[in-house]
Structure 1
Amino acid sequence: MWTQEIQCRGNESQIHLCSTSLPHKYNCSDDNDAVLVCADHVNVRLVGGHSRCAGRVEVLHRGQWGTVCDNFWDMADAAVVCRELDCGKPLDALGAAHFGPGSGPIWMGIVFCTGSESTLKNCGSAGWGLHNCNHSRDAGVNCSGD
C-alpha cells in the first residue's frame, strides 16, 4: 500500500506531484484499492461554437492551449480536426476569428494538411509558434457532428 489518500488539484503532470496523507496514517486494506482509468489524451479542441463539433481550433503544445492562424486554412485542415475529434465531415473551414478571438499563444500558422493525417499535429506547418498572425485571424471549423 503506497498511501491512504491522494489529493490532486488537476494541474499536476505526474501523480507523485499530488499531495498525500502521511504513509503511517493509513488504515486501508487491499479491499480499498483504487483503480485509475485514463482517457485518450486530447491534443485539439473546439471552443466557442454551438456544439462540441464547431468552434475555434485550439491545440495543446507543451502543456498550454493555443490557437491556429487562418493563413492557408482550408477544408483539408478542417477534415483532419473533424476526424481527430470524431465529429464527422467538415462543413466549413473558417477564419477571421469566426468563433471569437482566442488568447495565449498562437501555436500553428500556415498549416498544410493533405486531409489524411490522423491528427492536426501531424500536418505540416511553419513550426510551433512561428506565424505572422494575431487572434483576429484564429481558425475555426464547423463539422457535421455525425
Structure 2
Amino acid sequence: MWTKEFQCGGHESALLDCRSSGSARNTCSPGKAVGLTCSESVRLEGGGSRCAGTLELKYQGEWRPAFGSDWTLKKAADVCRELDCGSAVSVGRRESSDRPVWDIWSYCVRSGSALRDCVTSESSSYILDLTCSDSVRLVGGSSLCSGRLEVKSDQSNQWWSSVCEADFDQQDAEVVCRELGCGAPSVLQGALYGEVEAPMWTKEFQCGGHESALLDCRSSGSARNTCSPGKAVGLTCSEPVRLVGGDSRCAGTLELKHNGEWRPVIGSDWTLKEAAVTCRRLDCGSAVSVEWRKELSDRSVWMISYDCLPSRFALRDCAKSRSSSDILHLTCSGLQEAEAGQTGEH
C-alpha cells in the first residue's frame, strides 16, 4: 500500500505534483483500495439543449467533431448514457466544411471500448448530429422503445425517478413513446422490466396525449412516495414498421419510420427467420415469403445493421441511412389465416 495521504487542490496536472503527508496506514482493509472511473470527454454542441447537437470528443487535449461510419441508435445510446441524458432519439450525419475530426472506428465501439480508445485523426466534410431525450428513458427492456419508465425533473437533478402505475395512464404513455421517437404504446404494465431501483416520482401525470414531451404535461401532487412491488410503470412502444403496396396490410414492401421519415428497409441475410419477427410485431401471423425486388433507380433506404437481425433489438435501433435500388418484399400469413377462418365458418 501507498504510505502517504494525498492532499491535492484539484488543479494540479499530475498526482505526484500534489502535497502529501505521512499516513498511518501500511495496509488496507479488503475492498478499501481506491477504484476510479473517469468520465469520457464528450459533449453535444449547438443543439437546443445539452442533450442534442454535434457530437464532439476531447482527445489529446483537443475538442473536435466526431465522425464514424455505421452509427446507429444502438451505438448512440452509449453516448446518451455517458452524458446522463435519456434515450437516443435520432443520430445522423450532415455535411459541413472540411475540417479535422476524430474518426471513431465502429468495430472498436461495438467491442465495448470507450470512444477515445477508438479514434484516429482524419479530415472530413461530414459530422455526426445526435439527439437524446432530455428527461425520460426506458431501462431494462430489449430495445430503446421498451423498459421501465424513468423521469428526471431537471438537468441539475442527479436522480432518475421511477413512476408508479397509478400516476400514469395511456395518454401519458402516448406522449412518452412520441418523445422517444417510437411507435404508439402497445403494452403498459408494471413488473415487466424488474423491480424498482430508482427513487419514486412524486407527481401524477395528466397528459392530454398531444404534448411533445412528458414534462410539458400538467401534473398534480401524488400521495405516493413509494410504490408497491411490481407497480412501477413498464412500457413497450410499438415499432414504427409497416408493409405497403401489397394485397393486405400483412404483405408488401417493408418500411420503417426512423428519424421522422418512412423509408424501405434493406439488410443482408434476411431469411424467413428474421421476417417472422417482423410478422409477429405487425400481428400478422407467421412469415410466408421474403424476397428482394429491384427498382429502376436508387432511393433512400434504411439499412439494418448485420449484427441486429439475430438479436432482440428493434429494427430502428440498428438503422443506417443508405441509397439502394433493392427493396425487401415480405408476405405474412395474417390475411391467409383470416380467410381460412372465414371459409371454415361457412
TM bucket, shorter chain: 0.5 to 0.7
Which whole-Å CA distance do the structure 1 matches of 2:146 and 2:63 have between them? 40
Name the structure 1 match of 2:108: none
Count of aligned residue pairs for this structure pair: 122
User: Following TM superposition, by how much is the alpha carbon of 1:86 offset from its aligned partner in structure 2, in angstroms?
Assistant: 0.6
RMSD: 3.2
Which of 178, 182, 189 does residue 87 from structure 1 map onto? 182
Structure 1 unaligned residues grouped into runs of 5+: 1-7, 14-19, 21-25
Q: Which residue of 1 aligns with 2:117?
A: none
For residues 204 and 173 of structure 2, what CA distance do their matches in structure 1 show?
Answer: 13
Shift of 1:52: 1.5
- 2:154 maps to 1:54: no
Q: Tell me how far apart the structure 2 counterparts of residues 105 and 113 of structure 1 sit (CA, whole Å).
A: 22
- Kindly provide the amino acid, as one letter, of the partner of residue 134 in structure 1: C
State how far apart, in whole Å, the 2-side matches of 1:72 and 1:80 are. Answer: 14
Partner of 2:130, secondary structure, is coil
Deviation at 1:44, TM superposition (A): 0.9
Contact kept in structure 2, 1:70 and 1:139, CA below 8 Å: yes
Deviations 1:82-115 (A, max 9, x none): 10101111112223x3221221321244221111
Distance 1:135 1:56, change over 3 A: farther
The letter for the 1-side match of 2:224 is: H
**Higher RCO (CA < 8 A, seq sep 6+):** 1
CA distance in 1, matches of 2:194, 2:41: 26
Residues 58-86 of structure 1 deviation map (CA, whole Å, 9 limit, x = unaligned): 11231321111111422111111110101
Which residue of structure 1 lines up, in the alignment, with residue 224 of structure 2? 131
**Match runs of 1:2-21 below 5 Å:** 9-10=39-40
Task: Show structure 2 runs of 5+ residues with no match.
Answer: 1-37, 44-57, 67-127, 241-346
Distance 2:208 2:145 in 1: 20
Give TM-score scaled by structure 2 length: 0.31
Task: Answer whether contact 1:101 1:135 (CA < 8 A) is retained.
Answer: no
Is the contact made by 2:201 and 2:225 (CA closer than 8 Å) also made in structure 1? no
**1:126 Cα deviation (Å)?**
2.7
Counterpart in 2 of 1:35? 65
Name the one with the larger strand percent: 2
Larger radius of gyration: 2
Query: 1:110·1:131 contact (CA, 8 Å) conserved in 2?
Result: no
How far is the alpha carbon of 1:49 from its aligned partner? 1.7
Structure 1 CA distance for aligned equivalents of residues 142 and 63 of structure 2? 41
Amino acid at match of 1:60: K
Residue 76 of structure 1 is matched in structure 2 by 171
Change in Cα spacing, 1:100 to 1:41, as seen in structure 2 (3 Å) is same
Counterpart residue identity of residue 101, structure 1: E
